[in-house]
Structure 1
Amino acid sequence: MFHAPHGYQRAPLPPAREQEPETPLARTASATAHGYGTDAPPTPARAATPVPLPGATPAPKQRDAFFDNAKYLAIVLVAMAHMWEPVMDGSRATRALYIVVYSFHMPAFIIISGYFSRGFDLSRKKLQRLITGVAVPYVIFETAYTLFKRWADDPDQSISLLDPWYLTWFLIALFVWRLTTPVWQSLRHPLPVALAIAVLASVTPNIGDDLNLQRVLQFLPYFVLGLLLKPEHFRMVRRREVRLLAVPVVLCTLLFAYWAAPRLGLGWFYHSSASQQIGAPWWAGVVMTFALFGCSLILTACFLAWVPGRRMWFTVLGAGTLGGYLLHGFLVKGAGYANLFETYPWLSTPLGEIFVTVAIAVAVTLLCTPFVRRMFRWAMEPEMNWAFRRDPVENARQRERRSLIRAS
């Protein structure tokens, strides 16, 4: 309570609700710092907290090294699998590796995305962040990829924001998934509902290509599963016995993939078509949806079991995986448009496949660096304060802070 310059008393506005920390570790630290989760009741220390200066930079959020490591390693696997596509013909071993990686690399990334979307609601700030962090990058890179294809390969390629091309499908899918998060969190059994939707999509060939809805719906259960996970679930898969058990599981998976490589169609792993569209009966879509979901979860658990939980040299790169994902596609497609693999057929030999694997791993690592992230922040993390109305409550709170500073 203080005396305003015009002579009347005005009660201060209630303090802003603290944002949920980004990681489980940060959330625990925040709860401990404020007295929650202990036997003693929280002390009323908020009134003694100094008022921050307007425009002051807030303290950076604590990041969990485990999730940054997982995101970086997953995006490296995504890039490697994309680079294997033009060189794996005639190589049964490479095709088997491709099948194994495609079984879990995007499910793992989507599960982590769902886990970090648990706090999403339809508040003003969350919607603004969804627009600037997902929708705007989608528009920019969908346009950029289309122009790149027109310049390099197909002058008649048209720009269509309703028909995602190549890598951009993930952005529009993430936009839809995150926007529907409150719906899934309000359901009593969201995962069975999401699986039922995925099954229906896998047997419905007339869904169409708009917004790549086949992938949006068929990958939906992984996002919903991420919403349901808690920190203790990730601690379970990181136990020593799980790490040891993951070794024979992955070895058996590799052997099975080597046997199945010439027999199994790759269309199942893309989740972009109904079963009828890839030449299978409708009931195969039902079977493969549940079979791939189970296999993906097992392999994702094995992958997460091997992800280091401590800070590594690549931990800092986990914050730049969006750049690695969106930019490496220009390298992969550019190599194809330049007929690189036809000009140098040795790239399809075992030694060449190793070379392109290492090359794309190094390239995507560089694309995840803070330097590249800062360079492309205008496209991937634009501020865009000019595009949104100011929150009247926040404006009043800032005026109150300035008045308190002047009064002191």
Structure 2
Amino acid sequence: MKVKIMSTKSRNYFLDNYKALLIILVVIGHFIEPCYSNTPFLMILKWIIFSFHMPAFIFISGYFSKKTMTFEKLIQKLVIPYLVYEMLYYLLYVFVIHKDTGLYLNRPKFSLWYLMALFFWRIATPYIKKIPGSIFVSITAGLLIGFSQLGNFFSIPRTLFFYPFFLAGYYFQESWFETVRKKWKFLASSLACVLLLFFGGVFAGSIQLTPWIFYGRYSYEDMGMTPGIGMLVRLGCYGISFLLVFTLCAVIPKKKHFFSVLGLRTMPIYLFHGLIYSVLKATPLLKQINTPLETLALLLFCVLLSFALASELPNRFVTWISSIPVSLPKPPKNLGLPPVFTFGKRNQAQP
């Protein structure tokens, strides 16, 4: 079987570079969690990172999810890795940091919610895309889930909150990126207006907000907001996040750079940095960071850790886990299942 290798000229390094930036921000955003309230700089950095890093990551995931993947491949690429990494986190929590927890497969640990959400998004999108105005439907669902108290149960709140970004990426065409890059002044002006209105309204209403508003996990009640205020704040979050996702397109380089490899290997970085963070979080080290030198050292550590986790060994492990063969019994042909539920041959190549 011939393997098609993408040439340097045809590869979209713009998206690799965008993902490289995002994965570094994911690592930084987690590692500053215990200390972000210690200094104004870390507080501002926390707000900036969480206002767009996961929306942008999920938007790009949606963009790369256009091709149909068989149900067996979804199990192989998402469900099997989820189960394996859940077990790894469980063993780490229990035997290394001695955290009181259980193997709750319906409540993802740390960042593994993304794998669960991605599975549901890939399953649901063939149906959702047939609904007229599906983007607005998904935003409405993201607003309404803020009334629930589901917590981390099957990561439903975050799955619905972030789905509009996945769906937008799914619909997005490659040629539109250049259009967005050319419209950066308009997008930046719109972003400034939205930020002015958003924070002006917050200060006028004397509402106390935290970066939690961008997490998607917490209900309006959890964040101390009335349903009406909560929905308005969440709408503002959607506006800010979408504008930031597109405005940043103007500053992301389009050529290959030394950091482009991070965009190629986001999964090992995403999965393994949480294990290291969990160990350090169990110590007083991260909580005590409050000087400029300590802050600089932490940020440098996050960048170096990202490169270390993008090395060959972690990448091979992740690739091996997501390549475990899966063979499911074929359903009757008369069920009329959508393409996502087609069952390919064993070891069928990923589309």
Shorter-chain TM-score tier: 0.7 to 0.9
Shift of 1:79: 0.6
> 1:267: which partner in 2?
212
> 2:5: which partner in 1?
60
* 117, 128, 141: which one aligns with 2:72: 128
Query: Which of 1 and 2 has higher RCO (CA within 8 Å, sep 6+)?
Result: 2
Q: Mapping of 1:11-160 within 5 angstroms? A: 56-61=1-6, 63-120=11-68, 126-160=70-104
Q: Does 1:376 align with 2:324?
A: no
Query: Residues 330-370 of structure 1, C-alpha deviation per residue, up to 9 Å, x if partnerless?
Result: 1211111133236xx4x321211111011111101221234
Q: Give aligned-pair identity as a percent.
A: 27
Q: Mapping of 1:313-332 within 5 angstroms? A: 313-332=258-277
Tell me how many residue pairs correspond in the alignment. Answer: 326
> 2:156: which partner in 1?
213
* 214, 230, 235: which one aligns with 2:173: 230
Query: Residues 117-157 of structure 1, C-alpha deviation per residue, up to 9 Å, x if partnerless?
Result: 1223xxxx522221111111111111211221112334541
Shift of 1:383: 3.6
Shift of 1:69: 1.2
Amino acid at match of 1:101: I
* 175, 181, 189: which one aligns with 2:125: 181
Query: Residues 90-123 of structure 1, C-alpha deviation per residue, up to 9 Å, x if partnerless?
Result: 2122111110110000000000111111223xxx
> 2:224: which partner in 1?
279
Change over 3 Å in CA distance of 1:168–1:65 after alignment to 2: same
Aligned partners of 1:360 and 1:89: how far apart in 2?
A: 18
Change over 3 Å in CA distance of 1:237–1:393 after alignment to 2: closer
Aligned partners of 1:283 and 1:334: how far apart in 2?
A: 39
Shift of 1:81: 1.0
Aligned partners of 2:345 and 2:155: how far apart in 1?
A: 38
RMSD, aligned CA: 2.9
Structure index of larger Rg: 1
Q: Does 1:348 align with 2:296?
A: no
Shift of 1:393: 9.2
> 2:337: which partner in 1?
none
Contact 1:320–1:370 under 8 Å retained in 2: no
Q: Which runs of 5+ in 2 are unaligned?
A: 331-341, 347-351
TM (normalized to structure 2)?
0.84
Amino acid at match of 1:214: P
Q: What SS does structure 2 have at the residue aligned with 1:227?
A: helix
Shift of 1:230: 1.2
Aligned partners of 2:84 and 2:56: how far apart in 1?
A: 25
Shift of 1:253: 6.2
Amino acid at match of 1:308: P
Query: Residues 293-312 of structure 1, C-alpha deviation per residue, up to 9 Å, x if partnerless?
Result: 00001111122221111111
Shift of 1:60: 2.0
Q: Which runs of 5+ in 1 are unaligned?
A: 1-55, 396-408
Change over 3 Å in CA distance of 1:279–1:142 after alignment to 2: same
Greater displacement, 153-162 / 168-177: 153-162
